[in-house]
Structure 1
Amino acid sequence: MIPYRHEPTYDFSKEENKAAIQAALDKVQAELGKHYDLIIGGERITTEEKIVSINPAKKDEVIGTVSKANKELAEKAMQTALEAFESWRKWDPRDRADILFKAAAIVRRRKHEFSAWMVLEAGKPWAEADGDTSEAIDFMEYYARQMLRLSRPQEMLAEAGEHNEMFYQPMGVGVIIPPWNFPLAIMCGMTVSAVVTGNTVLLKPASNTPVVAAKFVEVLEEAGLPAGVVNYIPGSGAEVGDYLVDHPKTRFVSFTGSREVGTRIYERAAKVQKGQIWLKRVVAEMGGKDTIVVDQDADLDLAAQSIVYSAFGYAGQKCSACSRVVAHQDVYDDVLKKTVELAKTLTVGEPKDGNYMGPVIDKAAFDKIAEYIEIGKQEGELVLGGKVDDSKGFFIEPTIFAGLKPTDRLMQEEIFGPVVAFCKAKDFDEALAIANNTEYALTGSLISNNREHIARARRDFQVGNLYINRGCTGSIVGYQPFGGFKMSGTDAKAGGPDYLLNFMEAKTYTEKL
């Protein structure tokens, strides 16, 4: 089997790469305003009710309109997916994997184009969008290779005169509910992991970024995916989402998003409905309150670089983003100063123009983050940023608060924006205790040259993804399988060697000879 290799990203300081992304942006801007139908069993369906996708950096610019599903169309999609499952589950896993390989090749050829769609629809800066597209390619190729590995018979013991096997089989119809913040990568990974394992899916994309999802479904069609395997049904979470989570024929739900929605899905999926003959599985990734710990033996320049990259990349709109810094009292002032000075160099503006930081995703996010900034002014000292402006787009400056207490709201609640809180610790014991004092356990980072502290963090820092001497964002498929525990989710480890098992069931076969 060909070994997996990570898809490289582009260096946009090079003129040829700048020119390429600009050309892609020009191409995509010429396509803005188009309409995208539902796709159920390969059939395009137009509805009266629409979702209007706008550019968060330029509120008066419509990216596209998308037909909106209702319960009746959700039921039609479910029946279509059930029918398609009966043939799709029988496909040779190698043939299913080949569709993913082809889809990855298509996205690779159109890489800048997909990145440009995310620059405009999701407000992603060039480098962030490029990383998103690379990750989508990675997911397709990695999961295809993992399916080839898992499709082989598992090695079993046997008595004389007996033949034993254990193999994995697909489960049925799954509901895929991806987030807006990685509108291609995570949406793609959640979808193709369920599909390559032989399941059929109902894809309900995030309402902020449905056009990127529509473009991806077109790629799957081009790659040869049979009609009905992926059904594209944007719609309301309260109407379509709840209906499908509750549906007795739903076999599993794959969700990435807020803790509030994730716990609600988990609860609803646990209830056995009339006519339901299985227990539904839920794969949920629900956010974080991620900490970078800086001890007295740290490289302080590295610490500042790690904090700024992790806190302000994509305006802090990552579940892995650094929103808390816990620094040893001996280095606290220096780390804070270096971080502020570095953050001052960041440019904020429309991402299509090459700025480091663009807008937050919408008005609701803007208002929530602005409210947290006001809370921060009461709890700590505003040392950088704090200004907000939604006159043209939803822009918020990189914002740093100092002097926070471990139990302050800015240290406990997920903000999901470009706001980072600094807290002082008297020793490493206290720093680790503060790092672990939230309900989340997704990512964390320790900046240190102290081997004892590094060993203790490895054992006692309660996160699903721990990084030493680097930032706490930027996991790579196949390198750092991603997912956390506590209220961060089910620790399913996307991009890891056992992720596909979430969408299959094991069957043991024994024959007496």
Structure 2
Amino acid sequence: MTTITKISPFKNEPFTDFTIEENKKAMELALSKVKNELGREFPLHIGSKKVVTEDKIKSINPGNVDEVIGLVSKATKQLAEEAMQEALKTFESWKKVSPAERAEYLFKAARLMRERKHEFSALLVYESGKNWAEADADTAEAIDFMEFYAREMLRLSETNIHQPLTKIEGEENILTYIPLGVGVIIPPWNFPLAICVGMTTAAIVSGNTVLLKPASTTPVIAHKFVALMEEVGLPSGVINFIPGSGAEVGDYLTTHPKTRFISFTGSKEIGLRINRLAAETANGQIWLKRVIAEMGGKDGIVVDETADLDAAAAAIVASAFGFQGQKCSAGSRAIIVESVYDEVANKVTELTKQLRVGKPEENAPIGPVIDQNSLNKILEYIEIGKQEGRLLTGGVKAKGNGFYIEPTVFADVDPKARIMQEEIFGPVLALAKVKDWKEGMEVYNDTEYGLTGSYFSQDEERIQYALETIHCGNLYINRKCTGALVGVHPFGGFNMSGTDSKAGGYDYLLLFTQAKLTSRKL
């Protein structure tokens, strides 16, 4: 008999304070433990089978390229098809499992991950290049997603709780939410635990089965999550783990007639490709595929002359360079009113120069970017920036046996410049000068993206204007534009930032369900 967790009010998982010696030692112990386990081989999970393939994805430490994190078996089209058949078969039984029982698997997994929090974070440090705080926040968010979505499934399963229906005499009318079917989950490498866990558990707790294709640069942490779900007793076939090529496995599953939905987080280019492929109707397909996409941003912080300039400068630097700027929410543009522009630019430059570049396991503030391709792309943008603006600091590859880049700040950049318009996804910040706060908001909105933004001001009328005018999914006032919390800041953006699917929000699970109205004459 399944034991159902008693539901208490949702609370976010606290971040670890590593200035406390006990916490520091615990993290160091976890890093040592995980390091001793690096280099192992990991199989595919297709139903109850563990499949080892000759072709492997080699995951390496971006902060030390000589260190192999793991060798992960690589799926083919044939194996993807086998996984699809397993998912289809399992869906017929999984959809009948009660919402309470499905939620309990998430509660159990959240408890286990909490107990092993530092181990998960340590693997993030090695595989994705996050420092301790960034890795700890990633793991905390993964725990939050499982707790939050489990509670949401219980809430939505209660009759009529989401949409109370108008009562009429002589009829009983009930609106329920039923699962969609088999979905393809394609998470990103920059939050390889939190977003992977959130996307996957939202789908399965809603009654769907999934094919999980993690990012090729961070497949080991995804496997650790899949193994955790197996440990808590999740039936085989609910999550099928099939890392592989996007061009081969990803496209095959996106165009498959039995795929019911695709949940994707990643670049604009790949998101648009998935949306285009999913729109084509395959032979034997009897539904419109649902695409849930979060596709990045060109986020900015607007600062006017009434703002607390020290707080604004600190927020600009934190937003631009947290996890080396490799966040879709990263504030890669700062738009500053001319009367305080030089002062803010100087403060930003000085704060940036204080950021030390070094190994993530040594908890350096700035670590590596994810791989050689990213390094090359970011360095190309830096060269473009040298033509489009005035270099204040950085602008070069940093020392180290990894993909390190000095945090880079360009001043006097035209709002139409490429480094003000294109997503760089690295530690590059562009500063633009505007004549007044209204022009600052116009410059902010002059982008094809619309994910996060911040406005720094102490003028309440201007703040109210900003709340109505700045066009993005997540707008913050007098704080940084990164660091959304599950349940607190539902996350998703407008325009080319995706479908505004508000992960960690109270309507997110509805995207993985369909509403069924039943009406009975009494």
Letter in structure 2 aligned against 1:211 = V
Q: For 1:390 and 1:71, locate their aligned partners in 2 and report how far apart those are by CA, in whole Å.
A: 41
Aligned with residue 34 of structure 1, among 40, 43, 53 = 40
Q: For 1:370 and 1:354, locate their aligned partners in 2 and report how far apart those are by CA, in whole Å.
A: 24
Aligned with residue 138 of structure 2, among 121, 124, 132 = 132
> How far did residue 45 of structure 1 move?
0.2
> How far did residue 42 of structure 1 move?
2.2
Q: What does 1:261-300 align with in structure 2 at a 5 Å threshold? A: 261-300=270-309
Q: For 1:19 and 1:470, locate their aligned partners in 2 and report how far apart those are by CA, in whole Å.
A: 31
Cα-to-partner distance string for 1:259-279 (whole Å, 9 max, x where unaligned): 000000001101111100000
Instruction: State the aligned residue count.
Output: 513
Partner of 2:416: 407
Q: For 1:448 and 1:430, locate their aligned partners in 2 and report how far apart those are by CA, in whole Å.
A: 14
Partner of 1:174: 183
Q: What does 1:137-156 align with in structure 2 at a 5 Å threshold? A: 137-154=143-160, 155-156=164-165
SS at 2:365's partner residue? coil
> How far did residue 158 of structure 1 move?
2.9
Cα-to-partner distance string for 1:298-335 (whole Å, 9 max, x where unaligned): 00000011011111110000000010000000110010
1:51 aligns with 2:57: yes
1:106 aligns with 2:120: no
Q: For 1:390 and 1:413, locate their aligned partners in 2 and report how far apart those are by CA, in whole Å.
A: 27
Partner of 1:302: 311
Partner of 1:488: 497
Q: For 1:135 and 1:357, locate their aligned partners in 2 and report how far apart those are by CA, in whole Å.
A: 21
Q: In the alignment, is the contact (CA less than 8 A) between 2:187 and 2:214 conserved in 1?
A: yes
After TM superposition, the structure 1 stretch with the greater mean CA deviation from structure 2, 399-408 or 7-16, is: 7-16
Partner of 1:341: 350
Q: What does 1:10-409 align with in structure 2 at a 5 Å threshold? A: 10-154=16-160, 155-389=164-398, 392-409=401-418
SS at 1:330's partner residue? helix
Letter in structure 2 aligned against 1:94 = A
Letter in structure 2 aligned against 1:188 = V
Partner of 1:474: 483
Cα-to-partner distance string for 1:323-349 (whole Å, 9 max, x where unaligned): 000000011001011111111111111
Q: In the alignment, is the contact (CA less than 8 A) between 2:109 and 2:232 conserved in 1?
A: yes
> How far did residue 186 of structure 1 move?
0.2
SS at 1:331's partner residue? helix
Cα-to-partner distance string for 1:236-255 (whole Å, 9 max, x where unaligned): 00000000000000000000
Q: For 1:390 and 1:170, locate their aligned partners in 2 and report how far apart those are by CA, in whole Å.
A: 50
Q: For 1:251 and 1:491, locate their aligned partners in 2 and report how far apart those are by CA, in whole Å.
A: 19
Q: In the alignment, is the contact (CA less than 8 A) between 2:305 and 2:457 conserved in 1?
A: yes
Q: For 1:486 and 1:40, locate their aligned partners in 2 and report how far apart those are by CA, in whole Å.
A: 36
Partner of 1:453: 462
Letter in structure 1 aligned against 2:120 = F
1:508 aligns with 2:514: no
Letter in structure 2 aligned against 1:121 = E
Q: For 2:381 and 2:309, locate their aligned partners in 1 and report how far apart those are by CA, in whole Å.
A: 28
SS at 2:497's partner residue? coil
> How far did residue 354 of structure 1 move?
1.4
Q: For 2:32 and 2:173, locate their aligned partners in 1 and report how far apart those are by CA, in whole Å.
A: 59
Q: For 2:26 and 2:345, locate their aligned partners in 1 and report how far apart those are by CA, in whole Å.
A: 37
SS at 1:183's partner residue? coil
> How far did residue 389 of structure 1 move?
3.9
Q: For 2:69 and 2:310, locate their aligned partners in 1 and report how far apart those are by CA, in whole Å.
A: 40
Aligned with residue 449 of structure 2, among 440, 465, 470 = 440
SS at 1:420's partner residue? strand
SS at 2:386's partner residue? helix
Letter in structure 2 aligned against 1:107 = M
> How far did residue 390 of structure 1 move?
7.1
Q: For 1:490 and 1:426, locate their aligned partners in 2 and report how far apart those are by CA, in whole Å.
A: 33
Q: For 1:80 and 1:234, locate their aligned partners in 2 and report how far apart those are by CA, in whole Å.
A: 16
Q: For 2:230 and 2:319, locate their aligned partners in 1 and report how far apart those are by CA, in whole Å.
A: 36
Q: For 1:16 and 1:316, locate their aligned partners in 2 and report how far apart those are by CA, in whole Å.
A: 30
Give TM-score scaled by structure 1 length.
0.99
Give TM-score scaled by structure 2 length.
0.98
Identity of aligned residues (%): 61
SS at 2:339's partner residue? coil
> How far did residue 157 of structure 1 move?
2.0
Q: In the alignment, is the contact (CA less than 8 A) between 2:257 and 2:284 conserved in 1?
A: yes
Letter in structure 2 aligned against 1:362 = D
Q: Structure 1 347/391 Cα, relative in aligned 2: closer, same or farther at 3 Å? A: closer
Q: For 2:12 and 2:186, locate their aligned partners in 1 and report how far apart those are by CA, in whole Å.
A: 25
1:5 aligns with 2:42: no
SS at 1:19's partner residue? helix
Q: For 2:363 and 2:236, locate their aligned partners in 1 and report how far apart those are by CA, in whole Å.
A: 39
Cα-to-partner distance string for 1:391-422 (whole Å, 9 max, x where unaligned): 61000011100000010001000000000000
